[in-house]
Amino acid sequence: MQRVPRILTIAGSDSGGGAGIQADLKTITALGGFGMSAVTALTAQNTLGVWGIFEVSPEFVGAQIDAVAQDIGIDAAKTGMLANRAIVETVADRVRQHAIRPLVVDPVMVAKSGHPLMAPDAGAALRELLLPLATVVTPNLSEAQELCGMPVRTVSEMAEAARRIRQLGPEWVLVKGGHLSGEPVDVLSDGTDCREVRRPRVQTGNTHGTGCTYAAAIATGLGAGMSVPEAVEWARDAVQAALEGALSLGRGAGPLDHAAMWPCRLRRSADGA
């Protein structure tokens, strides 16, 4: 019997389909995992922006996680939009209760359109409660700056930010440098080893959901048994393929083509190895 990695995404819904739960489930499926979800918020969203947010009760977020963990099981999980402190507290509680590992924390604070997706007190809760439980945390430049309290504008500053964020408790920190000028570079650090992950820049404005896709791909790799560096490199290849096939949909920043990640799909043997 073939074994498929069971990957849980704990995040917000994007009605436009390009980011959030929708991007995560497309990514997990395209890469050969089995995707499950705990929805933290509903957003009225498209390529132009976020037009409304309806937050799910913390109790129901917890119930969704319980339902999945107690029956299907979880080989890895990732978090995305966690709108308020109570939701962060609930997620951290369930991660501990169900011993959910590996855990990828994507500290989603602001949508690509600039709309805030996290209350101020939720950011503090994420630092205090969730980062110490994380296998990998994946901030972009602005999120890294918020987490470490220093400007993050260069590769050397990314490395220092990763070192500081590592002191908050996660095992690994991946600072994403897609917003830098020139060739995009990400910095991955476990506090001792620091490596750069580089790919050629894809000339497209259709990048909606890139961060969600990257984190979900990393979680899928970890759920399949990869090491963190292996999962990050593999996930970055998948994101590169999705960016190269990015779709011109809508009047704003269009989505990635998650189907283009298929060549990176996990290979399964008949015995599940």
210 catalytic? Reply is yes
How is residue 257 annotated by DSSP? -
Q: CB count, 10 Å around CB of 168? A: 17
Establish whether 212 is a catalytic residue: yes
112 is catalytic: no
Which one of 27, 47, 210, 220 is the catalytic residue?
210
Kindly tell me the burial class for residue 16, based on how many C-beta atoms sit within 10 Å of its own C-beta (0-12, 13-18, 19 or more).
buried
Q: Which of 135, 207, 213, 220 is catalytic?
A: 207
CA 116 to chain centre: 17
Q: In this structure, are residues 38 and 106 in contact, taking their beta carbons and an 8 Å threshold?
A: no
Q: Which of 198, 201, 189 is nearest to 233 (CA)?
A: 198
Chain CA centroid to CA 187, Å: 15
- Indicate which residue of 26, 212, 220, 223 is catalytic: 212
HSE, CB side, 13 Å, CA atoms: give it for residue 266.
31
Write the DSSP string, 150-167: S---SHHHHHHHHHHHHT
CB 209 within 8 A of CB 20: yes
| Known catalytic residue at 207 | yes
Tokens standing for residue 271: 């015995």
CA 32 to mean position of chain CA atoms: 17
Which of 12, 20, 177, 211 is catalytic? The answer is 211
- Catalytic, out of 177, 209, 221, 254: 209
Type of residue found at 56: V
| Residue of 26, 176, 177, 254 marked active site | 176
Which residues belong to the active site? 176, 207, 209-212
